[in-house]
Structure 1
Amino acid sequence: MSSPHLLTPEGKLADAKDLLGLPRIVVLCGSTRFMTEMNEADVRETMAGKIVVKPGFDLKSSHGLRSGPVETEALKARLGALHRAKIRLADEVLIVGDYIGDSTRAEVAYARSLGKPLRFTHPEVDPDV
């Protein structure tokens, strides 16, 4: 009698997405200064038949969701964790913009550590090239 094949959580997720017949999921990453480019990438990827996830908003805009530096840092940490979850969910990662800061660089490293395929709207900014 053979032992059952043990799947990782990522393997189980991939199998579930296959069983459900879900399209590929792409997560958009990059500085929120490129929100316009992210919206354009969202349209292109959606037109290509992909499910798109991206940052919901940027912390640089005024929106009343924070009231001071302590709240802003706490919100930034929660949003960072949420975005890493989006990277785990995705089948591929698209880095948007012609600049990569520390946060995006960390997202690229995280995606690569998970073995996620990466694409860049501006390949010259790939930190590993």
Structure 2
Amino acid sequence: MTDRPEIVCLCGSARFVDELRAANRDLTFAGVIVLAPGEVDGPVTPEQKAVVDALHLRKIDLADRVLVVNPGGYVGDSTRREIAYARAAGKPVSFTDPV
């Protein structure tokens, strides 16, 4: 491990919570600092979704790279927006499954 571990921001649909958790665990054991989407149970108001979405973009800002967790190649609208944001910020983006 180097002086400063790599920081990876996970992106992906909330429907893939188990896969996101597995990626988080695997990266953590590999010595990576992981920034993951906030887990929200139950209904979310539009205002709460806006806060969570904005906060996740700040996590992308902090990351060295982005890993999109996309089983079966699925990438939804929110994740597509996060990918575009990361690329515009010059962050490398990779995927767990082919797109």
TM-score by length of 2: 0.90
The answer for the alignment partner of 1:118 in structure 2 is 93
* Residue number among 20, 23, 27 corresponding to 1:45 in the alignment: 27
Identical pairs, percent: 51
The answer for the alignment partner of 1:27 in structure 2 is 9
**RMSD over equivalenced CA pairs, Å:** 1.6
The answer for the alignment partner of 1:90 in structure 2 is 63
Distance 2:84 2:56 in 1: 13
Q: How many residues align?
A: 96
Aligned 8 A contact 2:38 2:52 in 1: no
Distance 1:57 1:113 in 2: 25
Distance 2:57 2:6 in 1: 17
Structure 1: give runs of 5+ residues left out of the alignment.
1-17, 67-71
Higher relative contact order (CA 8 A, sep 6+): 2
Q: 1:56: how far off?
A: 1.9
* Residue number among 31, 42, 51 corresponding to 1:62 in the alignment: 42
Amino acid at match of 2:9: V
Q: 1:22: how far off?
A: 2.1
Q: Which has the larger radius of gyration?
A: 1
TM-score by length of 1: 0.70
